[in-house]
Amino acid sequence: MCGIVGYVGSDQAAPILLDGLARLEYRGYDSAGIAVVSENKELQVKKSKGRLQVLSDIINGGKSVEGVLGIGHTRWATHGEPNDVNAHPHLSQDGKIAVVHNGIIENYVELRDFLKAKGYVFQSETDTEVVTQLLSFYYAEDSDIFNAVFKVLRRIEGAYALGIICADCPDRFLAARKDAPLLVGFGEGENFIASDVTAIIKHTREVAYMEDGEVAVISAEGVSFYNIMEQPIEKEHSTIDWDVSAAEKGGYAHFMLKEIMEQPEAIRKTAFSRIRDNKVFFEDLSIGAEYIKSISKIYIVACGSSYHVGMVGKYNLERMLRKPVEVCLASEFRYCDPLVDDKSLVIVISQSGETLDTMAALREAKNLGAHILSIVNVVGSSIARESDDVIYTWAGPEIAVATTKAYSTQLVLLNMLGMYFGDILGTLSKEEYDAIMGELLLLPTKMEKMLEDIEDIKHFASDYFNHSSVFFIGRNLDYAMGLEGSLKLKEISYIHSEAYASGELKHGTISLIEKGTLVIALGTYAPLFDKAMSNVVEVQARGADVLALTTESNVSEMRKTVENVMTVPESHTIFQPSLGVVPLQLFAYYVALLRGCDIDKPRNLAKSVTVE
Ligand code: AGP
């Protein structure tokens, strides 16, 4: 996934583009670049491998690039390694057209061959340069960049969010979107494009989300929109209701730590706005009791941490609803001929709402007749727009690549959906429902209490940050929670780890346990605490170093066997993983900190993976 920003107005464009890219760097940070056209039609492209600061230093913070119209890009490489040549923007051979692109052009090889046969010489290995040269090819026919854009869009296949400037049109630039997010921001005498709101929120809160196949022509005076048939269309404007500070570190060393600390408030915002008279309610859900009773099976489809939310949700929803719940990796779902039909409810979970694997799985499920209910954090995102129902997590912008508050709010919403359905299906007794509701209302406060004292976790991180392999073991909900704890550790500290169902360890993998192997034993799921204890003994017998996690009521029992124990407050089993995941997030954070890793922007990763 890459970050795109564009500006036209009366201020110098380059500093505005750099500032916008700085807020998009979490989307990709292999290289960065800008293209600016001046009033006298001089088109300058400045780009470089590495972080945005490298580019900013080259152009003196933007001061050395003149012009009030420009586009910018921060890259997560797909085609072509991260280097200066492959960085965007890409310039046409005649030096007149510059393009920035997020997505993948599936047929770029054949188009590149076509253009080479016409005499075009390519500088980079990227699919994006093909778009630039193809625009140049069509522009040469009638010097009309508008016509050239539509001709190109009819020929390219794949996903694109494009920013396009032409030196001959110093007063306007173009944007196009298909299967990759792009929005337009409306200012006073200035207008913007961006991959997401964080890039331009300091300038404007008024935006329009572009749909697939749409083209925008952006000038300082206004913005015109067109559909793929080149017909003018009107776009609805949306107003962003969170402020710029939400997308800033707020004094924390990293966005990830800030977002871990924001979890109680994010849960309050997400959950409490959907509780009335001690009952969960979801307004404007299109499905009613009749449909809910008719559901034969629930599928939860997602990737990464969102998939891990589903793994916890499976245990909880099956207990609450007594209906089968299958959790599927989105990237697998679309190729396994899923047995989905019109009696299937498919719950799609995605923080960004742009994950291509998840989007593709959504479309597959929709084609098979399923009802699509998505849980998404980014308002107006592609997945939200293509779902039959969407329930937003009000977590606010999540900047750190490693998700925390989005995971937690997704998990609470999924559990609340279980409560809502269980109440309708009559599979949750009033006593059980009220007991769960009671703990839901206490969840943020219990989490806040935990976050007040994290010294022991920092201490454990200092004990273990040099390990090269870690096992998270647990049963039932602890196992599902362990999947997320393991991913957090891997993706920001680069330590190999895996989460294992404790009962399964003895069927092979226990051969890897030797003296000094770090095993994080998860024992917060009360009904199986004794089993968890026996697994602790099992790995200790093979020399493992055990760091345990359990509830306050079981600490003394755990300490009989384990010296290092992290504790969480007691809650209903439904919400125990919501509490237990927090120490695991913090453990990963402090281990990564001690290992000197780039916590908010881990290597090879991006905030949303909009490629297959
Ligand atoms: C989470 O820490 C990871 N960054 C990653 O696994 C992420 O959860 C996954 O890519 C899914 O993203 P989404 O929720 O935006 O669809």
CA distance 242 to 392: 14
Q: Which residues pair with 566 in a beta bridge?
A: 549
Closest approach atom of ligand 1 to CA 305: 8
CA distance 174 to 241: 27
Residue 247: its pLDDT value, please? Answer: 75
Q: How far is CA 16 from CA 51, 69, 159, 340, in A?
A: 17, 10, 26, 47
Alpha helices in 289-390 (DSSP H): 289-294, 304-321, 330-333, 356-367, 382-386
- In short, whether 19's Cβ falls inside 6 Å of ligand 1 is no
CA distance 28 to 140: 33
Q: How far is the CA of 34 from the centre of ligand 1 (A)?
A: 28
3-state secondary structure of 121: coil
CA distance 511 to 502: 13
Q: How far is the CA of 577 from the centre of ligand 1 (A)?
A: 18
Structure-derived torsion over alpha carbons of residues 190, 196, 202, 203, reported in degrees to the nearest 10:
10
**Active-site pick, 2, 166, 328, 597:** 2
Residue 1: its pLDDT value, please? Answer: 66
CA distance 359 to 364: 9
What number is the average pLDDT over the span 424-431? Answer: 96
- In short, whether 306's Cβ falls inside 6 Å of ligand 1 is yes
What number is the average pLDDT over the span 295-320? Answer: 98
Q: Is 515 a catalytic residue?
A: no
In three-state form (DSSP H/G/I as H, E/B as E, the rest C), the secondary structure along 196-260 is: CHHHCCCCCCEEEECCCCEEEEEECCCEEEECCCCCEECCCCEECCCCHHHHCCCCCCCHHHHHH
Q: How far is CA 529 from the centre of its chain?
A: 34
CA distance 328 to 325: 10
- In short, whether 573's Cβ falls inside 6 Å of ligand 1 is no
Which residue type sits at 95? G
Contact predicate 310/282, CB 8 Å: no
Residue 171: its pLDDT value, please? Answer: 96
Edge-to-edge strands, sheet with 469-474: 496-501, 469-474, 518-523, 545-551, 564-568
Lookup: tokens for 242: 């969170």
Q: Which of 244-253, 320-329, 423-432 has the lowest mean pLDDT?
A: 244-253
For residue range 475-531, what is the model confidence (pLDDT) as tens digits? Answer: 999 999 999 999 999 999 999 999 999 999 999 999 999 999 999 999 999 999 999
Contact predicate 520/482, CB 8 Å: yes
Average pLDDT, the chain: 94
The answer, yes or no, to whether residue 78 has pLDDT greater than 70, is no
What number is the average pLDDT over the span 43-56? Answer: 93
Instruction: Quickly state the pLDDT bin for 103 (edges 50, 70, 90).
Output: confident
- In short, whether 382's Cβ falls inside 6 Å of ligand 1 is no
Contact predicate 122/96, CB 8 Å: no
Lookup: tokens for 534: 């026996």
Q: Return the residue matching tokens 């944007």.
A: 175
CA distance 28 to 134: 25
Which residue type sits at 305? S
- In short, whether 377's Cβ falls inside 6 Å of ligand 1 is no
Q: Is 336 a catalytic residue?
A: no
Helix 576-594, helix 430-452: angle, nearest 10: 20
- In short, whether 59's Cβ falls inside 6 Å of ligand 1 is no
Kindly write down the DSSP assignment for every residue of 147-160, as one continuous string. Answer: HHHHHHHHH--EEE
CA distance 150 to 169: 16
Mutate to test the pocket of ligand 1, among 311, 348, 351 (most ligand atoms within 8 A of CB): 351
Mutate to test the pocket of ligand 1, among 347, 352, 378, 393 (most ligand atoms within 8 A of CB): 352
For residue range 531-589, what is the model confidence (pLDDT) as tens digits? Answer: 999 999 999 999 999 999 999 999 999 999 999 999 999 999 999 999 999 999 999 99
Share of the chain above pLDDT 90, in %: 86
CA distance 252 to 583: 18
The answer, yes or no, to whether residue 311 has pLDDT greater than 80, is yes
Identify which of 378, 336, 341, 386 has the alpha carbon closest to the alpha carbon of residue 359.
Answer: 386
Identify which of 443, 417, 407 has the alpha carbon closest to the alpha carbon of residue 317.
Answer: 417
Closest approach atom of ligand 1 to CA 304: 6
3-state secondary structure of 176: strand
Residue nearest to atom 4 of ligand 1 (CA): 402
What number is the average pLDDT over the span 180-207? Answer: 94
Q: How far is CA 578 from CA 203, 333, 405, 452, 562, in A?
A: 36, 26, 10, 17, 23
Element (H, E) at 175: strand 172-178
Residue 579: its pLDDT value, please? Answer: 98
For residue range 462-474, what is the model confidence (pLDDT) as tens digits? Answer: 999 999 999 999 9
- In short, whether 350's Cβ falls inside 6 Å of ligand 1 is yes
> What are residue 455's phi and psi, to 5 degrees?
-60, -40
Edge-to-edge strands, sheet with 223-226: 90-91, 97-105, 158-166, 172-178, 214-219, 223-226, 232-233
DSSP-based helix, strand, coil % in the chain, nearest 5: 40, 25, 35
- In short, whether 486's Cβ falls inside 6 Å of ligand 1 is no
The answer, yes or no, to whether residue 242 has pLDDT greater than 70, is yes
Alpha helices in 368-466 (DSSP H): 382-386, 405-425, 430-452, 455-464
Helix 304-321, helix 477-493: angle, nearest 10: 170
Alpha helices in 269-303 (DSSP H): 289-294
3-state secondary structure of 28: coil
DSSP 262: T
Q: How far is the CA of 351 from the centre of ligand 1 (A)?
A: 7
For residue range 356-396, what is the model confidence (pLDDT) as tens digits? Answer: 899 999 999 999 999 999 999 988 788 998 999 999 998 98
Share of the chain above pLDDT 70, in %: 99
Query: In this structure, which long-range contacts are made by residues 211-216, counting pairs with CB atoms below 8 Å and at least 24 apart in sequence?
Result: 211/177, 211/385, 212/177, 212/178, 212/179, 213/153, 213/177, 213/178, 214/176, 214/177, 215/149, 215/150, 215/153, 215/174, 215/175, 215/176, 216/174, 216/175, 216/176, 216/184
